[in-house]
């Protein structure tokens, strides 16, 4: 069995929250090389989306392994050190704890991990996002694994026809449920259509009995109890031979659907699929970006990456994202551009409630004009 772990953190933005400085990437690559020579990792790659750096690693320790997570934590400490030296913005932003204990759960960095028996040919896509939340993967996962209008294989591939099981987390109540699709599809959509709270954590093939997809499901604001930046999640999708074809796994991103998390984590904006060189959200700290890195895994080796959205076939989605961004921006501070109050992590509402408490009166009483107004 091999494990593919994608572990990510924002350890400092260059400039503002728009990108990772090349020195941080170089440092992480040095660490990965060291971990390969020491035998901890079979292979590894370092990539980024916006101001988030991702360690893409293969190893034999399984998911949530202390050795792998502590390696990632130490690497993010090292990149934070450089970020502080360069005065990068939000140095160490996603490292919410002072000390590592056991694994990364509840510590800030996000991780998606899949353990599987490697097939003779193992095509895998690693999706990295910036300026959004983990529920942003709900819509594409539904399309890839449960929507026959997206995925032809659900209808015409003998090994996909029985469907897929979706594991969904309720992030507000810390509980999980498994939906058996297609039978449970309409039940599931009632939940995952609300992506701030219900997040698809993983998908399994019912026919192959194997894992097919995994996401990072951490919500930083729920860990920290306040806004500390957006989660900027990652996702792994295995493809072909009874799983969605690579093109079926990419197809949902040909539509620039709206996600939460742009500008101070507080705005809906279109999700723009881009090549790695364009994954630097600048306009209104957005629009939110997604990159797709394709690998063939052979004996644990990461053959790749291929930059999958570096394809003019996604120009339409990029154009659509720009049009939708113009449209939403014109709402200024109004919903649905700004998030509804209950989802707003970055807010003046608590202090306003206190400051204005004495000026609110029941509608049925005479309004006393405050002195000076
Ligand atoms: P296999 O994944 O079974 O090779 O077929 C799907 C395909 O080739 C996609 O076009
Ligand atoms: P990041 O989570 O990418 O740091 O974004 C924070 C933010 O507030 C951008 O406007
Ligand atoms: Mg940042
Ligand atoms: Mg970010
Ligand atoms: Mg973030
Ligand atoms: Mg084929």
Compute the average pLDDT of residues 5-31.
Answer: 98
Q: Are 179 and 168 in contact (CB under 8 A)?
A: yes
**What angle (nearest 5°) sits at the alpha carbon of residue 198, between those of residues 169 and 340?**
150
Residue 26 and residue 95 in contact, taking contact as beta carbons nearer than 8 Å: no
Angle subtended at Cα 359 by Cα 355 and Cα 361, rounded to the nearest 5 degrees: 135
| pLDDT band at residue 367 using 50, 70 and 90 as cut-offs | low
* Pairing assessment for the beta strands 272-273 and 289-298 based on DSSP bridges: parallel
Catalytic positions: 10, 227, 230
What integer best gives the mean pLDDT of the chain?
96
Selection from 94-108, 266-280, 332-346 with the highest mean pLDDT: 266-280
CA-nearest residue, atom 6 of ligand 2:
229
Whether 47 is covered by a domain: the verdict is yes
Phi/psi of residue 173, each to 5°? Answer: -110, 0
Give the model's pLDDT for residue 162. 98
- The per-residue pLDDT for 260 is 98
Please check whether residue 352 lies inside any domain of the structure. no
Q: Does the residue 80 lie in any domain?
A: yes
| Residue 241 reports pLDDT greater than 70 | yes
Assess if residue 149 is contained within a domain.
Answer: yes
133 lines ligand 2 (CB under 6 A): no
Note whether 29 and 20 are within 8 A (CB). no
Q: For ligand 1, atom 7, which residue shows the shortest CA distance?
A: 245
Confidence grade of residue 98 (pLDDT, cut at 50, 70, 90): confident
Say if 34 falls within a structural domain: yes
Tokens for 313, please give them: 């076939």
Q: Which domain holds residue 257?
A: 2-338
The answer, yes or no, to whether any atom of ligand 2 lies below 6 A from the CB of 318, is no
107-143 pLDDT tens trace = 999 999 999 999 999 999 999 999 999 999 999 999 9
Q: Is residue 252 classed as helix, strand or coil in its secondary structure?
A: helix
Report ipTM for this prediction: 0.82
Task: Give the whole-angstrom CA distance, residue 185 versus residue 181.
Answer: 5
- Residue 182: Cβ-neighbour burial (10 angstroms; 0-12, 13-18, 19+): middle
Instruction: Flag whether 354 is in a domain.
Output: no
For a substitution probing ligand 1, which of 238, 245, 250 has the most ligand atoms within 8 Å of its CB?
245
Closest atom of ligand 2 to 220 CA is 2
- Angle at Cα 136 formed by Cα 134 and Cα 140, nearest 5°? 125
89: annotated binding-site residue? yes
Residue 368 pLDDT: 64
Handedness of CA 342, 345, 349, 353 (dihedral sign): positive
The pLDDT assigned to 347 comes to 87
Q: Identify the pLDDT of residue 372.
A: 66
Name the domain count of the chain: 1
Kindly state the greatest CA–CA separation across the chain.
Answer: 78
Q: In this structure, is residue 101 part of a structural domain?
A: yes
Q: What are the DSSP E strand ranges found in 60-162?
A: 110-116, 122-130
For residues 55 and 112, give the distance between their C-alpha atoms in angstroms, rounded to a whole number: 11
Å from CA of 238 to ligand 5 middle: 25
Return d(Cα 310, Cα 277) in angstroms, integer.
Answer: 9
**Cα–Cα distances in Å, from 75 out to 50, 60, 202, 343?**
18, 19, 26, 32
pLDDT of residue 345: 84
Q: Please report whether residue 343 resides in a domain.
A: no
Pocket-testing residue among 96, 109, 131, 291, ligand 2, by greatest number of atoms within 8 A of Cβ: 131
């Amino acid at each position: 069995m091999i494990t593919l772990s994608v572990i990510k953190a924002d350890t400092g933005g260059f400039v503002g929250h728009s990108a990772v400085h090349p020195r941080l990437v170089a440092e992480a690559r040095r660490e990965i090389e060291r971990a390969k020579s020491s035998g901890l990792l079979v292979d590894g790659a370092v990539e980024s989306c916006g101001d988030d750096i991702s360690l893409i690693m293969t190893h034999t320790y399984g998911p949530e392994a202390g050795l792998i997570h502590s390696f990632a934590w130490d690497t993010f400490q090292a990149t934070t050190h450089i970020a502080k030296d360069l005065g990068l913005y939000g140095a160490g932003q996603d490292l919410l704890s002072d000390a590592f204990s056991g694994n990364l759960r509840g510590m800030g960095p996000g991780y998606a991990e899949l353990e599987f028996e490697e097939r003779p040919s193992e095509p895998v896509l690693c999706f990295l996002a910036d300026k959004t939340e983990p529920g942003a993967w709900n819509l594409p996962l539904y399309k890839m694994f449960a929507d026959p209008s997206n995925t032809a294989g659900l209808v015409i591939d003998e090994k996909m026809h029985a469907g897929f099981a979706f594991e969904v987390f309720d992030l507000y109540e810390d509980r999980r449920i498994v939906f058996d699709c297609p039978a449970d599809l309409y039940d599931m959509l009632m939940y995952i259509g609300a992506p701030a709270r219900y997040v698809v954590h993983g998908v399994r093939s019912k026919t192959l009995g194997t894992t097919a997809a995994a996401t990072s499901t951490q919500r930083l604001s729920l860990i920290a109890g306040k806004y500390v930046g957006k989660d900027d999640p990652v996702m792994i999708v295995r493809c072909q031979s009874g799983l969605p074809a690579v093109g079926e796994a990419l197809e949902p991103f040909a539509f620039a659907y709206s996600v939460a998390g742009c500008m101070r984590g507080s705005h809906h904006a279109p999700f723009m699929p881009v090549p790695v060189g364009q994954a630097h959200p600048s306009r209104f700290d957005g629009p939110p970006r997604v990159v797709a890195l394709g690998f063939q895994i052979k004996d644990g080796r990461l053959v790749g990456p291929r930059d999958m959205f570096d394809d003019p076939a996604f120009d339409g989605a990029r154009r659509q994202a720009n049009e939708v961004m113009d449209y939403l921006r014109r709402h200024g501070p109004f919903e649905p551009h700004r998030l509804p109050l209950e989802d707003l992590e970055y807010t003046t509402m608590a202090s306003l409630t206190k400051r204005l408490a004495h000026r609110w009166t029941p509608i049925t009483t005479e309004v006393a004009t405050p002195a000076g107004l």
